[in-house]
Amino acid sequence: MLLSPSRPIWSLPREEVVEALQSTAQGLTEQEALSRLERFGANKLPHLKRRPLLLRLVDQMLHFMAILLWVAGALAFAAGTPQLGWAIWGVVLINGCFSFWQDFQAERTLATLARSLPLTAQVWRDGEMRGVAADTLVPGDRVRLEEGERVPADCRLLRSSALLLDLSALTGESQPVPRQADPLPLREGQRPLPAVECANLLLAGTTVASGRGEAMVYATGLETEFGHVAHLTASTRRGISTLEQQVGKIVHTITLVAVSMGMLAFALNWLLVGMGPLESLVFAVGILVANVPEGLLPTVTLALAINVQRMARQQALVRRLSAVETLGSVSVICSDKTGTLTCNRMELEELWLPEETPERRNFLLAGSALCNNARLSGGSSVGDPTEVALVQAAADAGLDVEALRQRHGRLQEVPFDSHRRRMSVVVAWRPGEHGLPPGPATGRVVLTKGAPLEILAQC
How far is CA 32 from each of CA 29, 38, 59, rounded to the nearest angstrom? 5, 10, 48
How far is CA 38 from each of CA 3, 4, 41, 222, rounded to the nearest angstrom? 20, 22, 5, 15
Nearest alpha carbon to residue 10 among 168, 185, 143: 185
Strands (E) located in 99-149: 120-125, 128-133, 142-145
Q: Which of 182, 336, 384, 396 is catalytic?
A: 336
d(CA 258, CA 287): 7
Neighbours of 283 (CB within 10 A): 19
Report the SS3 class of residue 142: strand
d(CA 155, CA 160): 12
Element (H, E) at 97: helix 82-110
Nearest alpha carbon to residue 375 among 399, 392, 397: 392
Cβ(148)–Cβ(114) below 8 Å: no
CA diameter of the chain: 116
How far is CA 409 from each of CA 85, 270, 401, rounded to the nearest angstrom? 77, 100, 12
Burial class (CB in 10 A: 0-12, 13-18, 19+), 169: buried
How far is CA 344 from each of CA 6, 141, 206, 270, 368, rounded to the nearest angstrom? 36, 32, 14, 71, 21
Report the SS3 class of residue 166: strand
d(CA 10, CA 417): 21
d(CA 318, CA 312): 8
Q: Which residues pair with 125 in a beta bridge?
A: 28, 128
Active site residue 135: no
Cβ(76)–Cβ(85) below 8 Å: yes
Cβ(200)–Cβ(10) below 8 Å: yes
Report the SS3 class of residue 159: strand
d(CA 205, CA 168): 9
Q: Is 398 left (phi over 0), alpha (psi -120 to 50) or beta?
A: left
Active-site annotation, residues: 336
